[in-house]
Chains A and B, each alone.
Chain A
Amino acid sequence: MFARALTLFALIAPFFFPWPFAAALALLASLQYPPVALAVGLEIDALYFARGVASVPLASVWGLAVMLVLVVARRFVHTRLLVS
């Protein structure tokens, strides 16, 4: 329940708070739900990215990277739990 509330808060944070705060919330929420990192990254780029400011939408790229890392990490942790 708390994780879902945190996820919802992370999804709306880019619209009301500075991006570092939203990124921190996304990181916390993605520990439970990894796709949240990519979702928040997409939202931040939708709000702030424009052609010329960067070669690639960095928030989305970082969100994707964090999501992949956490998916792998969660599978690893679940596997270890199953084995143990």
Chain B
Amino acid sequence: MKKQFSRRHSALSESRAFSFGALALAVGVVVVLLRLVAPGVFVAVTAPMLSVSTRLNASVADAASGFVNTQALTRERDALVAENADLTRENTALTARVQDLTSLIGSATATTPVRGIAATVRMRPPESPYDTLVIDAGSADTVSAGDRVLAQGGVPLGTVVSVAAHTSRVQLFSAPTATTTAWVGPTREPIVLEGAGAGTFTAQVPKQTTITLGEAVFVPGAGIQPIGTVVHIDADPSAVMAALEIQPTVNPFSLTMVEVVPQGT
């Protein structure tokens, strides 16, 4: 008769497993007791292990990132680089705008209230003909025809001649068809400025005038505002009148911001 073989149940093997499990449990209990009884020792013992853990986790993360689709990462990186460049350009433009606004209307701590409307110059000579400016303020911003336009420092530039909803056209005092009353020098000798284009003016004065080179030219405004400087006096001996050539204080070719002041202000 064939002996049947059956696995003999061994109580010892089961108890061995249980004893090893009990040993493992004892390790856990010891760790808990160490934390409760001697937390300083516990921290001192576990801190180096946890720092190793941090480095291990970082290494695993680096290794795992190698399995990410590199093409997708490259595309994402390129998009971020382009976005960064756009933001840098925008930041530069905004910084320049803030500087222009600050020089035009003063800083936040200035005590003088701003009278007018700050407007950006969209087109200026020589892009725009006839010594005109196109600014981005219009009737929606309470700009109206006849309003005065000032540059940085309150220097008069011209007047608003046509208004749309969101833009306006400004005729500079230097426009060829423009005439403006003004004064020259400390004696305030009255003259009539005639626009000569390209931001310059001329004026006719009697040949016996006491006006000299370098004297400032003023126009009426809030007080009197300097608009230019006499740079040349053309006195023909046979002529009765002398011609003044006046260089403007503000170069209209480089205007970026202007202030629009209502009439009568």
Which chain A residue has the least Cβ–Cβ distance from B36?
Answer: A46
A50-84 to B contact mask, C-beta < 8 Å, 1/0: 00000000000000000000000000001001100
A29–B14 CA distance with the chains assembled, in angstroms: 16
Task: Report if B9 contacts A (CB, 8 A).
Answer: yes
A82–B34 CA distance with the chains assembled, in angstroms: 42
Q: Which of A36, A47, A82 contacts B24 (CB 8 A)?
A: A36
Cβ-defined contact, B56 with A16, below 8 A: yes
Cβ-defined contact, A15 with B21, below 8 A: no
Cβ-defined contact, B49 with A39, below 8 A: no
A9-48 to B contact mask, C-beta < 8 Å, 1/0: 0010001111000000000010011111011111101110
Residues in chain B near residue A16, CB distance under 8 A: 49, 52-53, 56
Cβ-defined contact, B25 with A38, below 8 A: yes
Task: Give how many B residues have a beta carbon under 8 Å from the other chain's beta carbons.
Answer: 26
Task: Report if B240 contacts A (CB, 8 A).
Answer: no
Cβ-defined contact, B29 with A42, below 8 A: yes
A81–B42 CA distance with the chains assembled, in angstroms: 44
Given A7-B20, A33-B17, A46 contacting B31 (CB threshold 8 A): yes
Cβ-defined contact, B32 with A46, below 8 A: yes
Q: Which of A33, A45, A46, A82 contacts B21 (CB 8 A)?
A: A33
Task: Report if B57 contacts A (CB, 8 A).
Answer: yes
B16-44 to A contact mask, C-beta < 8 Å, 1/0: 01101110111111011011000000100
Chain B, range 186-223, C-beta contacts under 8 Å to A: none
* Chain A: number of interface residues, binned into ranges: 20 to 34
Q: Which of B25, B46, B50, B56 contacts A35 (CB 8 A)?
A: B25
Which chain A residue has the least Cβ–Cβ distance from B57?
Answer: A18
Residues in chain B near residue A45, CB distance under 8 A: 32
Residues in chain A near residue B50, CB distance under 8 A: 15, 47
Task: For the complex formed, measure the closest distance between the CB of A36 and the CB atoms of chain B, giving whole angstroms.
Answer: 5
Cβ-defined contact, A39 with B20, below 8 A: no
Cβ-defined contact, B28 with A39, below 8 A: yes
Residues in chain B near residue A7, CB distance under 8 A: 20-21, 24
Given A16-B53, A33-B20, A35-B21, A41 contacting B28 (CB threshold 8 A): yes
Residues in chain B near residue A4, CB distance under 8 A: 20
Task: For the complex formed, measure the closest distance between the CB of A45 and the CB atoms of chain B, giving whole angstroms.
Answer: 7
A7–B16 CA distance with the chains assembled, in angstroms: 14
A46–B30 CA distance with the chains assembled, in angstroms: 10
Residues in chain A near residue B57, CB distance under 8 A: 17-18
Residues in chain B near residue A46, CB distance under 8 A: 31-32, 34-35, 42
Which chain A residue has the least Cβ–Cβ distance from B17?
Answer: A33
Cβ-defined contact, B49 with A43, below 8 A: no
Cβ-defined contact, B53 with A43, below 8 A: no
Which chain B residue has the least Cβ–Cβ distance from A57?
Answer: B32
| 17 A-B pairs (CB sep. < 8 Å) | A11-B28, A15-B46, A15-B49, A16-B52, A16-B56, A18-B53, A32-B17, A33-B20, A33-B21, A35-B18, A35-B22, A36-B25, A38-B25, A39-B24, A42-B29, A42-B32, A46-B35
